[in-house]
Structure 1
Amino acid sequence: MKKANGHEIIQLFESWSPKKLACMDNDPIGLAIGTLNKEVTKVLVTLDVNDKVADEAIEKGCQLIIAHHPPIFRKLSNLRTDTPAGKLYEKLIKNDIAVYAAHTNLDVADGGVNDLLAEALQLENIEILEKTYHENLMKLALFVPDDYAEKVRVALAKAGAGSIGNYDSCSFSTNGQGRFRALAGANPFIGDIGEMETTDEEKIEVVFTESIKNKVLKAMLNAHPYEEPAYDLYTLAVETNEMGLGRVGKLKEPMSLESFAEHVKSRLDVPRVRVVGDTSTLISKVAVVGGDGNKYIHTAKRSGADVFVTGDIGFHMAQDAESIGLNIVDPGHHVEKVMIKGVAEKMDSLCSQAKLSVEFVQSEIDTEPFTFI
Structure 2
Amino acid sequence: MYAKGQTVIQLMEQLAPKHLAVPDDRIGLQLGSLQKEIKQVLVALDVTDEVVEEAIGLGADLIIAHHAIIFRPLKTLNTDQPVGKLYEKLIKNDIAVYISHTNLDTAEGGMNDWMADALGIESSGTLEDVHTDQLFKLVVFVPKTHHQQVQDAVLRAGAGHIGNYSHCSFNIEGIGTFVPQEGAHPYLGQQGKLEQVEEVRVETMVPAGIRGKVIQAMLKAHPYEEVAYDLYPMDLKGRTFGLGRVGKLKQPCTLREFVDVVKKGLKVPHVRVVGDLDRDVKKAAVLGGSGSRYVNKALYKGADVIVTGDIDYHTAHDALMAGIAIVDPGHNAEKMMKEQTANWLRVKLEESRCATKVQASAVDTEPFRFM
Query: Normalization by structure 1: what TM-score?
Result: 0.83
2:281 corresponds to which of 280, 283, 290: 283
Counting matched residue pairs gives 360
Please list the CA deviations of residues 293-352 of structure 1 after superposition, one character each: whole Å capped at 9, or x if unmatched: 122112211222110000011222222222322111111111000101111111111111
Please list the CA deviations of residues 146-179 of structure 1 after superposition, one character each: whole Å capped at 9, or x if unmatched: xx5665785465344962365437214387x999
Structure 2: distance between partners of 1:243 and 1:354: 28
Structure 1: distance between partners of 2:138 and 2:270: 56
Q: How does 1:224-373 map to 2 (within 5 A)?
A: 234-373=232-371
> Quick one: structure 1 residues 107 and 93, their matched pair in 2 at CA, closer, same or farther if it must change by over 3 Å?
same
Match of 1:158 in 2: 153
Report the 3-state secondary structure (helix = DSSP H, G, I; strand = E; otherwise coil) of the residue aligned with 1:88.
helix
> Quick one: structure 1 residues 228 and 285, their matched pair in 2 at CA, closer, same or farther if it must change by over 3 Å?
closer
What percentage of aligned pairs have identical amino acids?
Answer: 44
Shift of 1:201: 9.3
Q: How does 1:88-103 map to 2 (within 5 A)?
A: 88-103=86-101
Structure 1 residue identity aligned to 2:17: P
Match of 1:193 in 2: none
Report the 3-state secondary structure (helix = DSSP H, G, I; strand = E; otherwise coil) of the residue aligned with 2:126.
strand
Structure 1: distance between partners of 2:261 and 2:230: 56
Match of 1:70 in 2: 68
Structure 2: distance between partners of 1:33 and 1:232: 39
Shift of 1:226: 12
> Quick one: structure 1 residues 371 and 137, their matched pair in 2 at CA, closer, same or farther if it must change by over 3 Å?
same
Query: Pairwise CA RMSD of aligned residues?
Result: 3.5
Shift of 1:102: 0.6
Structure 1: distance between partners of 2:199 and 2:170: 16
> Quick one: structure 1 residues 70 and 113, their matched pair in 2 at CA, closer, same or farther if it must change by over 3 Å?
same
Structure 2: distance between partners of 1:62 and 1:250: 41
> Quick one: structure 1 residues 252 and 227, their matched pair in 2 at CA, closer, same or farther if it must change by over 3 Å?
closer
Shift of 1:287: 0.4
Structure 2: distance between partners of 1:12 and 1:62: 18
Q: Is 2:7 the counterpart of 1:12? A: no
Report the 3-state secondary structure (helix = DSSP H, G, I; strand = E; otherwise coil) of the residue aligned with 2:127.
strand
Q: Which runs of 5+ in 2 are unaligned?
A: 190-196
Match of 2:119 in 1: 121
Shift of 1:363: 1.2
Q: How does 1:148-187 map to 2 (within 5 A)?
A: 148=143, 155=150, 158-160=153-155, 163-164=160-161, 167-168=166-167, 170-173=169-172
CA contact (8 A) 1:152 1:224 kept: no
Report the 3-state secondary structure (helix = DSSP H, G, I; strand = E; otherwise coil) of the residue aligned with 1:253.
strand
CA contact (8 A) 1:248 1:287 kept: yes
Report the 3-state secondary structure (helix = DSSP H, G, I; strand = E; otherwise coil) of the residue aligned with 2:204.
strand
Structure 1: distance between partners of 2:267 and 2:106: 22
1:28 corresponds to which of 22, 26, 29: 26
1:44 corresponds to which of 32, 42, 62: 42
Report the 3-state secondary structure (helix = DSSP H, G, I; strand = E; otherwise coil) of the residue aligned with 2:282.
strand
Structure 1: distance between partners of 2:264 and 2:212: 48
Structure 2 residue identity aligned to 1:173: I
Structure 1: distance between partners of 2:101 and 2:282: 30
Match of 2:56 in 1: 58
Report the 3-state secondary structure (helix = DSSP H, G, I; strand = E; otherwise coil) of the residue aligned with 2:244.
strand
Shift of 1:273: 1.5
Please list the CA deviations of residues 49-89 of structure 1 after superposition, one character each: whole Å capped at 9, or x if unmatched: 01111111111221111110011111111111111100000
CA contact (8 A) 2:41 2:61 kept: yes
CA contact (8 A) 1:172 1:206 kept: no
More moved, 45-54 vs 105-114 = 105-114
